Structure 1
């Protein structure tokens, strides 16, 4: 299915077969993520060009308002968050009876833009210990999909000199 080009987000680079590679949702008949694009952001002001990524959703025979347009830096921030959480679950959480250290819930501090992004366990969640176990189980069960994508990301970053 072709991604629309007549809407406010103007696609430049697209993945129109995303439904075929959408991780564990490949065979899910309820999945509606049809494509991905990088393009000119819909929130652009005159004279100011921003690039955004968009997940295109198609439901009920039309393009959905649930399609998400995301600034590129936020996607990279999410990738950082995913990697930090993945590392915490794989390398550290098992050391604690509650799956984290209640006295030190910050699991990582990543310096960005002159400050730091604090990545921490959500101690406001009253079911956090059980939810961390479920989170770890979900990461483990999706390990093949995530591992494949992390390996590709690592290769691309290395090829780019990072």
Structure 2
């Protein structure tokens, strides 16, 4: 494979989503060329997700690979933050007991934006009327539909 192929990387894609035209506000001007679900470079028996970024000359070392469960946990944290912002906001997020692995009590995370401007920008990006906020909520809504189908088919609890 040539250097322009993501299949030449140590991460082994199984499903490779062409992402350049779909990267939200960065569409068609992004370095994130693909999203991949595949086998991890750090353990070929482990499922991982990866953003595959290309500089124009080579695949970027800034591409990120992580275990799939971490990607789900990040989306969950985003959903908790959206919920907190919608209910008034700057008081933080609480992750209920047993949501994460080995979590025997709730986890409270305070909003660490250190001034009103940053808190406002963060709130607008989640619950505001900007294109980015609308895109985020729209994608979460579509994810909800997929999760509901998986649940109806007994693939997730």
Tell me if TM exceeds 0.5.
yes
Q: Give me the CA root mean square deviation.
A: 2.0
Q: Distance in 1 between matches of 2:108 and 2:21?
A: 32
Q: Gapped runs of 5+ residues in structure 2? A: 152-156
Q: Distance in 1 between matches of 2:52 and 2:43?
A: 19
Aligned residues: 143
Q: Distance in 2 between matches of 1:20 and 1:39?
A: 21
- 1:71-150 matched pairs, under 5 angstroms: 71-93=67-89, 99-100=90-91, 105=92, 107-110=93-96, 111=98, 112-115=100-103, 116=105, 118-123=107-112, 126-127=114-115, 129-139=116-126, 140=128, 141=130, 142-150=132-140
TM-score by length of 1: 0.79
Counterpart position of 1:62: 58
Counterpart position of 1:32: 31
TM-score by length of 2: 0.81
Structure 1 position 109, deviation (Å): 2.1
Give yes or no for contact 1:3–1:56 (8 Å, CA) kept in 2.
Answer: no
Q: Distance in 1 between matches of 2:102 and 2:6?
A: 38
Counterpart position of 1:96: none
Q: Distance in 1 between matches of 2:134 and 2:114?
A: 30
* Structure (1 or 2) with the greater strand fraction: 1
Q: Distance in 2 between matches of 1:156 and 1:50?
A: 23
Structure 1 position 3, deviation (Å): 4.5
SS at 1:5 equivalent: helix
Structure 1 position 122, deviation (Å): 3.8
